[in-house]
Amino acid sequence: MRDKIINSIKNYEKALKKLHEFIDEPIVNERDRAGIIQAFEFTFELAWKTFQKVSKDEKMEIGGPKTIIKQAFRLDLVENNFEDDWNLMLEDRNLMSHTYKEDLSYIVSERIKDRYVIAFDHSLKKLKERYE
């Protein structure tokens, strides 16, 4: 299982690197904003699925993203001061993946740049300290 977790961490890291590349460029049109949101969705999926693998390896309850994010806090894969960010991230991911509203895309893309990448960076650091 350890190899699967390490591979998952590497994929998460690649997605996060791509998200950083997207947010480091100026947003000049709606396509740029949509690209940031899509990269965020990929990164979020890889993050929670990595947490899921760790939870499984630790013989913890397995479930959907909400359950797994709670497990990540218990396992110290996510710092408690990021709890609000991760919960809002889940809401934004669900909202943006099921509907696309241009006015909401402005708000979510700002959260991605200002809050979510920081939370992703911290969780990736914790994962790498634990498994590499």
Domains of the chain and CATH, by start: 2-131 (1.20.120.330)
Q: Which pairs count as long-range contacts for 29-34, CB under 8 Å and 24+ apart, including other chains?
A: 30/102, 30/105, 33/105, 33/106, 33/109, 34/100, 34/105
Q: Nearest 10 degrees: CA dihedral of 87, 59, 125, 96?
A: -30
pTM of the model: 0.94
pLDDT in tens, the chain (132 residues): 899 999 999 999 999 999 999 999 999 998 999 999 999 999 999 999 999 999 999 999 889 999 999 999 999 999 989 999 999 999 999 988 776 677 888 999 999 999 999 999 999 999 999 997
Percentage helix, strand, coil for the chain under 3-state DSSP, each rounded to 5: 85, 0, 15
